[in-house]
Chain A
Amino acid sequence: MKPSRFEYVLPRSIEEAVAARVEHADTVVLSGGQSLVPTLNFRLSNPEAVIDLRLVPGLDDVRVEGEWIHVGGRTRQRDLELDDAVHAANPLIRETLHHVAHPVIRNRGTVGGSIAHADPSAELPCLLLCLDGEVVAHGPSGARTIDAQDLFEFILSTTLEPDEILTEVRFPVLPERTGWCFTEFARRHGDFALAGVAATLTLADDGTIAWGQLAACGVTTTPVRLVAVEDALLDDAADPSRFREIAALAADVVTVPDDESCSSAYRRDLLVGLVERALRTSWQRATERATARTSREVTS
């Protein structure tokens, strides 16, 4: 379990990093290394160069500005989790990060690293997709923005070009009158989930459901939006009494085949159960927030 020989590149700017990406035929970007380093040690990946982002300035800034939370790509997952301003702006982020592996891994793992790695079981890509977030990528011709729904292609594969580097992740601030939930099931605490669900649910002024956003991980080749569930939530008749039947609409996104320790039927039912739990928790929180909001308005 020793990596094969590679060139180690330690750029001091994003331009240098991109230049190294262009210069070498086959590069990988080191940002936390919680998945990459095992991959190198197993020699599953034998790149010509490893580009370590640790000395590139500005990649771990976290700012809440207007409707967006800007997270530098190299921000440690643990730092984002503990950021109170981020939590105030969108509590789904902290709740999701609590499910990412263990604290010692979050201490090293980065937000951009996890999203660029695009493991279909990982929580952060699922979060980004659920929230309609976006990422910024730097390449030889400058920066571009990619919407979450255009980012994830396949298992461990994104639409980032081989000469691009993910530099920033943007999550929207949670809208008003909105509840949230991240829930998953892993065989062992902290493992990649057999299925996970990120959800937000936004209420109309009259307390009925306006819309919901849901995404799942661990069930197919990428994180996936639960479109059928979202469509059903747009129905005027959608209310908590129908959450079970609405959740059942999620089952068809599962494409992971049977394996020896997890049948496809089980994974479908598990996903449905998690979606129902996520809807109930989101609805309860949305109601609480709407009520709190109303009472604050009355008081002021």
Chain B
Amino acid sequence: MARPKAEQPEQSAPPMVHTGARVRRNEDPRLLRGRGRYVDDIPLEGCVHGAFLRSTVARGRIVALDTTEAEQLPGVLAVYTCENIGGLDREMPLLIPHPCISHGRTQRPLARDDVYYVGQAIAFVVAVDRYVAEDAVSRISVDIEPLPVEVDMERAVDDGAPLVHPDVPGNIAAALVQNCGDADAAFARAEHRTKIRVQVDRSTGAPMECLATAARWDPVSGELVVWDGTQAPIGLRGALASLFELDEDKVRVIAPDVGGGFGPKIHFPYANEVLVPLAAMELGRPVKYIEDRSENFVHMSHERTQIHEIELAATKDGEVIGLRDVFLHDTGAFIPYGIAVAQVASTAIAGPYRIPNIEVEFRCVYTPTVPVTPYRGCGRPQANFALERAMDQLAEELGLDRFEIRRRNLIADDEFPYKREGLIFADGLPVTYDSGQYGAALALLEEELDLPAFRAEQEQARAEGRWLGLGLSFYVEGTGLGPYEGGRVRIHPITGKVYVNTGLTTQGQGHATSMAQLVADQLGVAVDDVIVVEGDTGVFDWGVATFASRAMVVSGSAIHKAAVKARERVLEIAANMLEVDQADIVLENGAATVRGTGTSVPLAAIATVSNPLRYAFNDAAQIATQFAPANKGDGPPLPEESRPGIQTEEYYSPPHATWAYGVHAAIVEVDPVSYDLQVKRYVIVHDCGKMINPMIVEGQIAGGVASGMGGAFYEKLEYEANGNLRNASFMEFLMPYATEVPHMEMHHLETPTPLNPIGAKGAGEAGTIPVAAVIASGIQDALAPEGIGPLWHVPLNPSVLHDAVREARSR
């Protein structure tokens, strides 16, 4: 060191030029020009292709399975069943155990003896191409004896109902009761009680890219490389190393560009994720499996079905003093991801309201359907729908305005941090809301809506016989779960460009830009000179995954910390090179400049100086040779306890989740002939703490609202009584198009979280959470003059509204 660090005057924090700006996305030129590289785009010489035989019976016993004819088809390389996959023929791990899971069941990669849902994999064929593979699948002879099924979750828990797993009584996988405060006492002293039953139906994440796996085995190096459309490459790497008994470093999992995740791709391993590597190792040829859409509907995890009975205890003034919620959660045929969805729903149940006394109880129920794991929102849309419909109902019963009853119950700004002792969130810690301005958010929404004008418009519409209404919903979202993520920042001596690595993956969230913005500000470089590389265990393999609206909170904080450290190192070397105090140095335009002078050295030269080995490849190296070495004095060129180059690695571990929130409202009109929904205005007030890139945040919100619209009015997976999924296609499963998604007016508050150095909270799932409650509340208001019954079951649809109006008119 030139001088002891203590003698350096403090360098103040750099100006935030890029952080918080609407920076255009680094990844877009590539993605928009069709130059994304997804699993199916990975060129693998001599690659062969896989296809599955899937069960067409929900619950049954395989009495005969004959693959002879398939094996004899020219072009077929292998046909796998549970009989010839060796050690893979075992129940896959239950990823997140919990003491309340009394009967945890997970599936095998290929069915043995029994099938448990339509779509379950029974055999896996590998052939020269997918055409032949599908031909071979159709030549496998399978005889399944059907067993009785009950797909209705409420009936599935009744005595005598058919059991999904014969040794699981009542089809109950897990049950949990949680208490905060004293609900019994609150209900005993309540002046008013409101109890409603709500239901949210099943949906799917439906990413544009279905599941996809490719694998190559190198018998010489003993390395297995797997390309996989996953949200969790590090987790999958661990699973494969464990299953195949390989060292972790001999398994490399790469999530290249991934065409959307939305949650289901956080679950692993799917059957393809273990069978494709197995086939690649056994056949000595690269193998690919690209799931098609009709398979995706019956293979990739689903989510959403919950039935809540929620009861509020209130004073006559509308202060909610207690809440009881008992709900059933449909976990499908297996529970591979534990109770995550139900747990998140149960801990979000009191939303933004003070409600000090809570009792919440759930049971996770097996049904003979596709297994359930988190999908964007992860239980929160259901909890929000239950709570907010109950708040509307309470307001109506007490004769209070829907805004007013919320205003009276919102947690005040000075009550943060607000803890719900006894409610244990998915991070294993009590729910603790860290910061927020709930009252200000509601006030801003009211102002933007111009309520007096709306009331006048509604009165006019009603006079004309038109159905115009307003709905709203307030939500909170615990985001940024730990345990940790890491970030590495490196400045390259040749180009001066900055490379950033983390253990996450991206499926379109813009990490290559938002993470780069954080680093660009610390190092004074352009955002597009910061290259973020993630999703590759060969590059960075400490970390968790992309889920739970956590990427910016956890990885962003780690990367920020690493960038701060890199900045310190740059300043230290630059001060030595320029022979000035660090305080006199400004990092900007990719160079260190002495404040107030034209004297500067480029970052590449600083990075070159940081390495004692220096070939004069280029101008930066030429410049670097003019300066003294980074470290002067006696001793080796690289002193003890130092390292070559500018490379820093830091980790961030959140003390607990950070709670984002928002409130949405919609003005809706229902058509008197088609009963279709027209959303005339959709207004959002949103607070995810410090926004690193508001444009990306808004994109996340818009995407969330689009999927929320699906859950409110369009998307419903319809299981027939025999367990067949009736609408397993995009013709019949109605994902809203752009034409069905309303224009959104977005307003932001920025209440930083004190929990991390960048002040950010998660934003990925937020938009989805309140939409169903907003739309149901709005339609209820619109159709109020008809006196229809309550809308407590989503998704709604025109036929349901029509029948509700007809029923009301016939009463």
Chain A residues proximal to chain B, CB less than 8 Å? 1-5, 42-43, 185, 187-192, 260-263, 265-267, 269-270, 273-274, 276-277
B11 interface residue, CB < 8 Å from A?
Answer: no
30 intermolecular pairs with C-beta atoms under 8 Å apart: A2-B134, A3-B131, A4-B134, A4-B135, A4-B138, A5-B131, A43-B134, A187-B676, A187-B714, A187-B734, A187-B798, A188-B737, A189-B737, A260-B726, A261-B716, A261-B718, A261-B797, A261-B799, A262-B797, A266-B799, A266-B802, A266-B803, A269-B806, A270-B673, A270-B675, A270-B802, A273-B672, A273-B674, A274-B673, A277-B673
Task: List the B side residues contacting A261 at CB < 8 Å.
Answer: 716, 718, 797, 799
Alpha-carbon distance between A262 and B718 when the two chains are bound, in angstroms: 13
B293 interface residue, CB < 8 Å from A?
Answer: yes
Task: List the A side residues contacting B718 at CB < 8 Å.
Answer: 260-261
Top 9 A-B pairs ranked by shortest CB distance?
A: A273-B673, A189-B739, A1-B292, A266-B799, A185-B674, A266-B802, A2-B131, A262-B799, A263-B799
Query: Mostly helix, strand, loop or mixed at chain A's interface?
Result: loop
Chain B residues proximal to chain A, CB less than 8 Å? 130-131, 134-135, 138, 292-294, 672-676, 714, 716, 718, 726, 731, 734, 736-737, 739-740, 797-799, 802-803, 806
Alpha-carbon distance between A188 and B677 when the two chains are bound, in angstroms: 11
Alpha-carbon distance between A261 and B130 when the two chains are bound, in angstroms: 35
Q: Separation in Å of the A219 CB from the closest CB of chain B?
A: 14
Task: List the B side residues contacting A188 at CB < 8 Å.
Answer: 714, 734, 736-737, 739-740
Starting from the known contacts A5-B131, A187-B797, A191-B734, 14 additional A-B residue pairs (CB-CB under 8 Å) come to: A2-B130, A4-B135, A4-B138, A43-B134, A185-B676, A187-B714, A191-B731, A192-B731, A261-B716, A265-B806, A266-B799, A270-B674, A273-B674, A276-B673
Alpha-carbon distance between A99 and B138 when the two chains are bound, in angstroms: 38
Task: List the A side residues contacting B138 at CB < 8 Å.
Answer: 4, 43
Task: List the B side residues contacting A276 at CB < 8 Å.
Answer: 673
In the complex, what residue of chain A is closest to B797 when comparing beta carbons? A261
Q: Separation in Å of the A193 CB from the closest CB of chain B?
A: 10
In the complex, what residue of chain A is closest to B718 when comparing beta carbons? A260
Task: List the B side residues contacting A274 at CB < 8 Å.
Answer: 673
Task: List the A side residues contacting B673 at CB < 8 Å.
Answer: 185, 270, 273-274, 276-277
In the complex, what residue of chain A is closest to B130 when comparing beta carbons? A2
Task: List the A side residues contacting B292 at CB < 8 Å.
Answer: 1
Alpha-carbon distance between A3 and B131 when the two chains are bound, in angstroms: 7
Inter-subunit contact A5/B135 (CB<8 Å):
yes
Inter-subunit contact B806/A1 (CB<8 Å):
no
Alpha-carbon distance between A22 and B182 when the two chains are bound, in angstroms: 81
In the complex, what residue of chain A is closest to B295 when comparing beta carbons? A1
Task: List the B side residues contacting A269 at CB < 8 Å.
Answer: 802, 806
Alpha-carbon distance between A261 and B737 when the two chains are bound, in angstroms: 18
Q: Separation in Å of the B730 CB from the closest CB of chain A?
A: 10
Task: List the A side residues contacting B131 at CB < 8 Å.
Answer: 2-3, 5
In the complex, what residue of chain A is closest to B675 when comparing beta carbons? A266
Alpha-carbon distance between A191 and B735 when the two chains are bound, in angstroms: 11
In the complex, what residue of chain A is closest to B134 when comparing beta carbons? A2
Task: List the A side residues contacting B134 at CB < 8 Å.
Answer: 2, 4, 43
Q: Separation in Å of the B285 CB from the closest CB of chain A?
A: 20
Alpha-carbon distance between A190 and B737 when the two chains are bound, in angstroms: 9
Q: Separation in Å of the B2 CB from the closest CB of chain A?
A: 65
Alpha-carbon distance between A274 and B736 when the two chains are bound, in angstroms: 23
Inter-subunit contact B798/A266 (CB<8 Å):
yes
Alpha-carbon distance between A294 and B809 when the two chains are bound, in angstroms: 46
Inter-subunit contact A42/B294 (CB<8 Å):
yes
In the complex, what residue of chain A is closest to B720 when comparing beta carbons? A260
Inter-subunit contact B135/A263 (CB<8 Å):
no
Alpha-carbon distance between A191 and B729 when the two chains are bound, in angstroms: 13
Task: List the B side residues contacting A267 at CB < 8 Å.
Answer: 799
Q: Separation in Å of the A149 CB from the closest CB of chain B?
A: 28
Q: Separation in Å of the A235 CB from the closest CB of chain B?
A: 24
Inter-subunit contact B802/A1 (CB<8 Å):
no
Q: Separation in Å of the B398 CB from the closest CB of chain A?
A: 34
Task: List the A side residues contacting B716 at CB < 8 Å.
Answer: 260-261
Alpha-carbon distance between A260 and B724 when the two chains are bound, in angstroms: 14
Q: Separation in Å of the B290 CB from the closest CB of chain A?
A: 10
Q: Separation in Å of the A103 CB from the closest CB of chain B?
A: 13
> A1, A191, A267, A274 — which one has the most chain B CB atoms within 10 A of its CB?
A1
In the complex, what residue of chain B is closest to A46 when comparing beta carbons? B138
In the complex, what residue of chain B is closest to A277 when comparing beta carbons? B673
Q: Separation in Å of the A157 CB from the closest CB of chain B?
A: 20
Q: Separation in Å of the A271 CB from the closest CB of chain B?
A: 10
Task: List the A side residues contacting B293 at CB < 8 Å.
Answer: 1
Alpha-carbon distance between A267 and B675 when the two chains are bound, in angstroms: 11
Inter-subunit contact B294/A1 (CB<8 Å):
yes
> B674, B718, B731, B736 — which one has the most chain A CB atoms within 10 A of its CB?
B674
